[in-house]
Structure 1
Amino acid sequence: MPWNEIVNFTPIHGLAGGALLGLGAAVLLLFNGRIAGFSGIISSLRVRNNLWKLAFIAGALISGTVLHQALNLPAPESQLPASGLIIAGLLVGFGTRLGNGCTSGHGVCGLSRFSLRSLVAVMVFMASAMATVFVMRHL
């Protein structure tokens, strides 16, 4: 199978998405004084002061959906059955609690603040992702 069929890498979309994510994180920090860590925001929804959290999550979901439709992108596909996706989601949730943050909190916000803890967390995220892909594709 040719490389371009294995990996659907679009640098323009990745760059635009990363820039928008960084802009959203910067706006949240500037106007609300909060770090844009999605796992932390979602896990703290049960406490008071939820309006900004709900608005942030809704904005991320709605803007992604609108942009996906506007660019007429194909629907994402997965080779895993629904049960595998559920298990993967639970493992990611467990990992974010264990690592005290997710890729958005550590990768976007922590690295931009030169946090050593976030640098280590991102290196562990990336190593885990590479190991998972290797195991899933080659073993």
Structure 2
Amino acid sequence: MSLDLAHFTPFASLAGGLMIGAAAALLVLGNGRVAGISGIVGTLLQGARAELGGRAWRLAFIAGLAAAPWLWRLVCGAGSSALSPTIDASPATLVVAGLLVGLGTRYASGCTSGHGVCGIARGSLRSLAATGAFMAAGFVTVFAVRHLVGG
């Protein structure tokens, strides 16, 4: 096993992790809500069932997530390699993967941000189990795709 030093970004990764943690903490402290993306988006999609005052902060949160890459481009410049990820998958594969992730969040009653970032920080055993299951499924999937399917 070797370390890919060209793509090793400990400082950027640490900064990103700190920003995710700060955003989750600010949302809990300022709004009393957990930063679970699937719950935030799911409530928005429920339309009339979502309380009117709750829609504004949810829309602002999702807008912030969507705007982050463009803000990063402004700060770091258009030539940053972090802004040019390559995804070696067909659109159909991405749609199926997205649907499977959505199905998994329904079964787990939350997503990696809700369970992995917020739930574990609150000491939730259910979140610890869910995050362990997310990670194990990811490890098995990567192993299968790279070594068994012929990726």
| Same fold flag (TM > 0.5) | yes
- Contact 2:69-2:83 within 8 A present in 1 as well: no
Q: Deviations over 1:104-131 (max 9, x none)?
A: 0001100100110000011001100000
Specify the alignment match of 1:40 in structure 2: 39
TM-score, length-scaled by structure 1: 0.91
Bigger drift between 43-52 and 102-111 goes to 43-52
User: For residues 68 and 9 of structure 1, do their structure 2 counterparts lie closer, same or farther at Cα, with a shift above 3 Å needed?
Assistant: farther
Choose which of 67, 84, 88 in structure 2 pairs with 1:62: 67
Cα separation, 1, equivalents of 2:25 and 2:69: 18
One-letter code aligned to 1:81: S
Paired residue type of 2:90: P
Residue 74 of structure 1 and its aligned partner are, at CA, apart by 3.7
Q: Which runs of 5+ in 1 are unaligned?
A: none
Match of 1:82 among 83, 91, 102: 91
Aligned to 1:4: 4
TM-score by length of 2: 0.84
Partner amino acid for 1:4?
D
Residue 132 of structure 1 pairs with residue 141 of structure 2: yes
For the aligned residue pairs, the C-alpha RMSD in angstroms reads 1.7
Which moved further from structure 2: 78-87 or 68-77? 68-77
- Residue 93 of structure 1 is matched in structure 2 by 102
Once the two structures are overlaid, the 10-residue window that deviates more, 45-54 or 88-97, is 45-54
Larger radius of gyration: 2
Q: Provide the C-alpha distance between the structure 2 equivalents of 1:137 and 1:69, rounded to a whole number of angstroms.
A: 35
Rounded Cα–Cα distance in structure 1 between residues aligned with 2:31 and 2:16:
22
> Percent identity over the alignment?
47
**Change beyond 3 A, Cα 1:118–1:68:** farther
Q: Which residue of 1 aligns with 2:117?
A: 108
In structure 1, C-alpha distance between the alignment counterparts of 2:75 and 2:122, rounded to whole Å: 33
